[in-house]
Amino acid sequence: MDALHERFIARIAAALDLAASKVSATARLLGEGATVPFIARYRKEATGSLDEVAITAVRDRLAQLTELEQRREAILKSLAERQLLTEALKAAVDGAETLSALEDLYAPFRPKRRTRATIAKEAGLEPLADLLFNQQATVDPLAVAEAFVNAEKSVPDVAAALAGARDILAERFSEDAATRARLRELYWESGQVRSRVMLGKEAEGAKFKDYFDWTEPVSRIPSHRMLAMRRGEEEGFLLVRITPPEEAAIAILEGLFVQARGTPGAEQVRLAAVDGFKRLVGFAIEAEVRIEAKKRADQEAIRVFSENLRELLLAPALGQKNVLAIDPGFRTGCKTVVLDRQGKLLHHDVLHATAGGAQQVAQAGEKVRILVDRFAIEAIAIGNGTASRETEQFIRSLHLPAGIPVVLVNESGASIYSASEVAREEFPDEDLTVRGSVSIGRRLMDPLAELVKLDPKSIGVGQYQHDVDPNALQRGLDDVVVSCVNRVGVELNTASKQLLGYVSGLGPSLAANIVAHRNEHGPFRSRRDLLKVPRLGPKAFEQCAGFLRIREAGNPLDASAVHPERYDLVDAIARDLGCGVGDLMRDGNLRARIRPEAYVSDEVGLPTLRDIVEELAKPGRDPRQRFEAFAFQAGVEKIEHLQPGMKLPGIVTNVTAFGAFVDVGVHQDGLVHVSQLADRFVKDPAEVVKVGQKVRVTVTEVDLARQRIALSMKANPQIGGQREQRSAPNAPRASQPGSGRPGGNPAVRGQGRPSGRPASGAGLDPGAGGWNALADAFDQAQKR
C-alpha cells in the first residue's frame, strides 16, 4: 500500500469507528484496483466482512486525506521557494489536520493582490503598527505617528498614518489562525442564514416570496431550504447572508488582541479589530461557511436522491416475457410495440384507442387481439403519462385472457432514452416514438437493465439535483448504480454494453469489447472465455467474473455468484460428498451435510464458505422482491374524480426531505407531507416510505385550480376539503423543462404531444413552485 495511505489508517479508523486492521486491508485492496462491490462480496476475510457503505466511506476518506496531503505539499513548496519556511511554521503545517486549519496557517503568507495593508507597508507604516500593537501605556499614538507623516508616500497627516497602521493590524488579525478558528466555530454555533428580497424584485421574484424575509440558524437549516435560497440568490431575487452575532464576533477579536484596555494604543488596536472583522475576516469566514453549508446541503440532497434511485433500480422485475408495450396518447394515437422475451423489437404500430370514432377504437381493439395471439403476449405494459388510464381502461375492456397482467409502468426518462445516442445505436431505423415504447416495455421486464442506459438525473426521483455540485452528484449516483448492478448480477450473453459497463472491473471500453466479441464469436460458453476478450486481463477478470452469469454454461457454477477462484473448492466439497457440483446444487440433503468449518484455510474463511453454501442453494438468485402487478382504483382516473376522504391505493414516486409524492392514478402525484406519513412523529420520510412502495392513502385536500392533491397515510387524518385558500400559493408547476417525465419540455421529451403527469420533484425549480414552499404551506395548514 502507498506509504501515504498508511499514515491515514489510524485517523480513518477513529473517524469511522472501525478496527485499524480492517481499514488497512480495505485501503490496500482499493490501492490494488479492487472495486467496492468486489471487496464487499469476495474479500470478507480480509476486511472483517465490511459492507459496501463502510468500504465506500474508507475510500472517500482516503481521497479526502490525499487531497489534504497534496495541498500540504503545495503549501510547503510555495513557502520554501519564497524562503518563508521556518522550522516552527513547517511543524505547524505538518500538524494541521484539516484543510481549514492548513489554509489558516498559510493565509498570512499567501501571495495576494495589493491591499490597503500592503499600501500602508509600502508607505513605511509597519513599525507604527507594531508600536500600536504593543499597547504600552507610555506610548501616545498621536505623538509617535508624527514621525511617519510623509506626503510623498501619501501619508499627509497623523490621522492617515494611524489609519494605515490600523489597516496593517486589521489584515494581520484577519489572517491569524486562532482568530479564524474561533470565528468559524462562532459562525456554526450562532450564525443565522438571512434572506431578503432584492429591492424592486418583489413582483418578479414572487415564486421566492417565502424567503423575502427569512431567518434560520445555519446549523439547522434543511437542505432543501438552503438550496432554494441559493437559487433565489443566483437568479437575482434574494440577498442571502450568513452572519453571527456581531458583538460576539468582535469580542473574540478584542479578547485575542486588546491586551491593555484603557491605554491609547489599545483603543487603536480595538478599532483595527472591529475593522478587521467587518471589512475582512467576517466576509472571509462567511464565504467559507457558505461553501460548507452548500456542501452539506448537497450531501443531503445527494443522499435522498441516491436512496430513491436505489429503490427504483431494485424494483421488482417481471422477467423474460413476451410484452406488448404501449406509449399512450390522444391525438397522435398510442405507440405500440411487441418485444420478445429478450427485449428484441418484433413489431410496432399505432393504435387509435383513446380518441377518434367508435370504428377506430374497434379497429384498435382488433389489432390488440391479433397481436396478443400472434406473438403469444404474456404481459401488457402501459406508460403512465398522458392518456394512460384511458388506455388501461381500453385494454381491460377487451377482456383478454386473465393470465395477461396489464401494468402501468413509470415512464420517467423514456423520452430521454428515445432521443439518446444509446437508442439511436440500438434502433437506427426507428423514430423516437418507437424507441420510447420499447423502453417502457423493457422497463417492465427488467427496470435495472433499462434504467442504466439513462443519466440517473433524468429518471425523476431527485430533490434539487440541478442545484448541487454536479461532480459530487455524479459520483454518488454512479456508486448507487454500480452497487445495484453488481448486487443483482448480469447475464453475460444478453446484457447491453451499458449494463456491462457498470460491472465491477469493467467500464465502457471493456464492456464494448465484450459485446463485440459476443457478436463476432457467439455467446460465451464459460466465464473463462472472458479472458479471450481483447484487453480483458486477469485483474479485470478477477473483479468482474463473480458478478456475471451464464445461464446455459457447461459448468453450473457459471450461473451463480460463486467466484471462479473458488470453483476448485466447490469441486472438492462435491467429491467429499461423493456427488457432482450439479447434484450439490439440486439436492438440499447433500448441502445439509456440508461442514464449512472443515474447509477453512489461510485463503478462505467461514464468511466466504457460508456465502458459497448459500449460493449453491439458490444459484444466481435475484435479490429483488417478487413482481406483483398493481392496479389503481377503478373509476378514479382524473383529478376531478377525487374527493376528500377517499381512500386509494397508490405508488410512491419520490421521497423528499419534507414528504413523499404518491401516484394515485390521476396523472398528478399527490403530496403526503412528512407530518402525514404516520400516526407518530417522523423525522426522515425515508424511515417510512420508499420509492416504488405500494401504499394506501387518504385524500385530504384537492385544489382543482392549481392541480394540487394533499394526501395522508394516517389512520384517521383530518379532512380539509376542497379549499383553494389552503393550497400552496407557490406550488410547483405541472411541468418543468428537463424533468425527464411526461409533462416536461417537449423538446427534451422529443415528442410534441400534450404534457402529461407532472414531475415528482425531479429537476424542479425550487422557486418555480418551490417544493419547500409547498411543504411550508402544508405545515401552516396543519397548524390552523
Q: What is the pLDDT of residues 605-644, one digit of tens each?
A: 999 999 999 999 998 888 999 998 888 998 898 899 999 9
Model confidence band, residue 3 (pLDDT cutoffs 50, 70, 90): low
Strand order in the sheet with 334-339: 345-351, 334-339, 323-327, 379-383, 406-409
CB 440 within 8 A of CB 411: yes
What is the structure's pLDDT at 396? 92
CB 591 within 8 A of CB 616: yes
Nearest to 257 by CA among 284, 279, 276: 276
Q: Average pLDDT over the chain, rounded to whole?
A: 87
Question: In the numeric block, which cell numbers belong to residue 313?
Answer: 433500480
Nearest to 211 by CA among 299, 222, 783, 461: 222
CB 680 within 8 A of CB 697: no
Q: Which stretch of 23-37, 178-192, 280-294, 407-421 has the lowest confidence by average pLDDT?
A: 407-421
| pLDDT of residue 772 exceeding 60 | no
| pLDDT of residue 781 exceeding 80 | no
pLDDT, tens digit (0-9, with 9 covering 90-100), for 188-233: 999 999 999 999 999 999 989 989 999 999 999 999 899 999 999 9
CB 309 within 8 A of CB 655: no
pLDDT, tens digit (0-9, with 9 covering 90-100), for 589-609: 999 999 999 999 988 999 999
CA distances from 417 to 225, 438, 463, 577, 762 (A): 31, 10, 21, 51, 16
What is the structure's pLDDT at 649? 95
For residues 692 and 309, give the distance between their C-alpha atoms in angstroms, rounded to a whole number.
10
CB 730 within 8 A of CB 703: no
| Greater pLDDT, 465 or 541 | 541
CB 109 within 8 A of CB 79: yes
What is the structure's pLDDT at 697? 95
Model confidence band, residue 4 (pLDDT cutoffs 50, 70, 90): low
* Contact residues for 122 (Cβ-Cβ < 8 A; gap 6+): 153
* Cβ atoms within 10 Å, residue 431: 13
Q: Please give the distance of CA 776 from its chain centroid, rounded to a whole number.
A: 23
Mean pLDDT of 474-492: 94
For residues 182 and 175, give the distance between their C-alpha atoms in angstroms, rounded to a whole number.
12
Model confidence band, residue 77 (pLDDT cutoffs 50, 70, 90): very high
Mean pLDDT of 696-707: 91
What is the structure's pLDDT at 2? 56
What is the structure's pLDDT at 667? 85
What is the structure's pLDDT at 58? 95
Mean pLDDT of 366-389: 93
DSSP for 21-62 reads: HHHHHHHHHHHTT--HHHHHHH-HHHHTS--HHHHHHHHHHH
Model confidence band, residue 731 (pLDDT cutoffs 50, 70, 90): very low
Please, where are the H alpha helices in 141-245? 141-145, 158-174, 177-190, 223-234
DSSP bridge pairs for 696: 649
| pLDDT of residue 737 exceeding 60 | no
Residue with cell 498614518: 161
Kindly give the pairing relationship between strand 238-243 and strand 192-197: antiparallel
Model confidence band, residue 297 (pLDDT cutoffs 50, 70, 90): very high
| pLDDT of residue 167 exceeding 80 | yes
What is the structure's pLDDT at 411? 85
| pLDDT of residue 348 exceeding 60 | yes
For residues 213 and 210, give the distance between their C-alpha atoms in angstroms, rounded to a whole number.
7
What is the structure's pLDDT at 549? 96
Question: In the numeric block, which cell numbers belong to residue 164?
Answer: 494605515
| pLDDT of residue 243 exceeding 60 | yes
Question: In the numeric block, which cell numbers belong to residue 435?
Answer: 424507441
The percent of residues in the chain predicted with pLDDT above 70, rounded, is: 91
| pLDDT of residue 301 exceeding 60 | yes
pLDDT, tens digit (0-9, with 9 covering 90-100), for 116-157: 999 999 999 999 999 999 999 888 999 999 999 999 899 999
The percent of residues in the chain predicted with pLDDT above 90, rounded, is: 71
Residue with cell 467496492: 36
Please, where are the H alpha helices in 107-155? 116-122, 126-134, 141-145
Mean pLDDT of 764-769: 34
The helix (run of H) or strand (run of E) holding residue 348 is strand 345-351
114, burial (CB in 10 Å: exposed 0-12, middle 13-18, buried 19+): exposed
CB 449 within 8 A of CB 503: no
Mean pLDDT of 95-101: 90
What is the structure's pLDDT at 5? 63
Nearest to 105 by CA among 122, 88, 120: 88
For residues 420 and 423, give the distance between their C-alpha atoms in angstroms, rounded to a whole number.
5
| pLDDT of residue 673 exceeding 90 | yes
598-604 CB contacts, 8 Å cutoff, 24+ apart: 599/569, 599/572, 599/573, 603/45, 604/45, 604/566, 604/569
DSSP for 269-334 reads: HHHHHHHIIIIIIHHHHHHHHHHHHHHHHHHHHHHHHHHHHHHHHTS----S--EEEEE--STT-E
pLDDT, tens digit (0-9, with 9 covering 90-100), for 389-428: 899 999 999 999 989 999 999 888 788 888 888 999 999 9
| pLDDT of residue 768 exceeding 80 | no
Nearest to 546 by CA among 136, 42, 9, 134: 42
What is the structure's pLDDT at 743? 32
What is the structure's pLDDT at 780? 38
What is the structure's pLDDT at 767? 34
CB 739 within 8 A of CB 749: no
pTM value? 0.83
What is the structure's pLDDT at 464? 72
Round the CA-based radius of gyration of the chain to a whole number and report it. Answer: 33
Question: In the numeric block, which cell numbers belong to residue 693?
Answer: 412502495
What is the structure's pLDDT at 112? 79
